[in-house]
A and B are shown apart, each in its own frame.
Chain A
Amino acid sequence: MLRFLVRRLALGVLVMWLITVAVFALFFIAPNNVARTLAGRQATPDVVALISHRLGLDQPVWKQYLDFVGKAVRGDLGFDYYHGVPVTDLIAGALPITLSVVIPGAIIWLVLGVFNGVVSAIRPRSFVDRGMTAFALFFYSMPTFLLGLLLLYFLYFRLTLAGSAVFPAGGYAPFTGGLYDWFIHMVLPWFTLALVSAATYTRLTRASMLDVLGEDYVRTARSKGVGERRVVLRHALRAALTPIVTQFGIDVGSLLGGVVVTETVFSLPGLGKTAIDAINQQDLPVIIGIVLFASAAVVVANIVVDAFYAVLDPRVRLH
């Protein structure tokens, strides 16, 4: 088990290293003169050269790379010249907002998806199953931005016009400024994020449960005279959970790097929105910082999933 984790960690470090190379290559070696952009249109060649020197852009490429990695390892992702703050501060400021969207949203979609999937799988091809499938496909085929806008239209615009302004139009109210205020700002983003993913999880759970319900050990459980509820939850769902947990870990990991569409629709200044703004402004240090953070999140999520896999399945522990 320990060796397994060490191996996965080593692999994660390797992946992160490859990502730094790719990011570095993309942004530092690509024909895009950072100093030129930063200096502005009216700048003289002297000014550009000075900026180049300050940024270390006149150094050889390998030295630039080592500097970049050396700083990144120490938690220094550079300085955002547009906003005049270190990139790490910018990420630290946006991360709580992304977390506020992703974590509760993920819990909602997981509960919804697994519940619907189990109910569907118990009676395949029944009325309930078909209803759940229709529900899932409806949201599955709906683009996130459209669902977000629809929720805003009905639950903010129409509701406010009707005289009961429950939900705000968007924006973020920090956790510290009152739990209710935070909650009411987050409800619509949560469901925008959750309903689309819940559809995927409904299908995944249903398929996985149908597989497991046909297994011999489920028949054994029934042959023991164990109650049907216990057969479904303790025997079947327990085994069916493995692929769901894997998918969940990877999904949450990749969303931690920013929920681009949902954050944009609801004007939430999380990592996704910050990344979009940075791209529009060609704000390279911020883009690099967020890309690195997002990839680290995915790598860590994968390791956590693998470790959790071993917790779930005793057969994995020995290898």
Chain B
Amino acid sequence: MIKVEHLVKKYGDRYAVNDISFEVRKGEIVGFLGPNGAGKTTTLNILTGYLSSTSGKAMVDGMDILEHPMEVKKKIGFLPEQPPLYLDMTVREYLNFIYDLRKCKLNRKEHIAEIIRVVKLEGTENRMIKNLSKGYRQRTGIAGAIVGNPEVIIFDEPTNGLDPKQIIDIRNLIKELGRDHTVILSTHILSEVKSICDRILIINEGKIVADQITGDISKNYHGNRRVSVRVEGPSSAVLAEMKKLPGVVYSRIGAEYSDGSASYLLESREDVDLRKPLFFMLAKHSWPILSLELPGANLEDVFIAALDEENAEEGNTNPGKAKNKGGK
């Protein structure tokens, strides 16, 4: 559906986007993840035709955005980082304006009513946008992006600045839209891509440093397997015994609780399953297990690892930026 080939964008001597290539298949939800200033917004702006690339190609449905701007723009709904809202309009007027702007052919009344329902803007349709809260403004922006039912929807940091409840609502909304649209989402929040996206592209300093299925990333990235366990017993003795288990490469106490228990984080080599030996060892000492989890690698680790890998490839390894295995 979307194909980007060797995209480059230079501002003066600085590369905002440096030779990026990727593909997004129809119906996928792809997360664009990277620190601020990594080139996410620039890439999305090129895809939507707001900016032009210095070189390279961006194609939607086989059509180059520079050669067929009108056709491509019709296929894309875009929510920029700051929602492009006319504050002096009501929500309904705004959606009607976009309906006209995009020369939409669907039944106006039904389509706009449907959007208002999907985005949960009922009750605010006739309010001025300037009087809406940030969460509702964001919803109005999303509503604007889906007017005309575009095949591709692009969201640039859609949950930026929202409160936790609004963040969950917007994420659910995006997931729902992802059922029958191709969605690209940019964010610097790792848990966001994990909860929404099928695939994740990690971008840093204008380059793609990782491109994987979201599930695979958290399962396999490090190779090491993790166990998080809460045990009742003398913590230093428990930890000392844990260290002796075969295959353990890392162990530490997470938190100690007032009931005399403590949580521990263990990492073993990929070929070792720690759960059984751990159980028998604790049972032998009569230290009861209160809970046991397999957290897997988290995306923070993945992200830092991907950046480190990239740096290492460039012969620019920085020992201070070692993998943060003990992370949360």
Indicate whether A and B interact: no
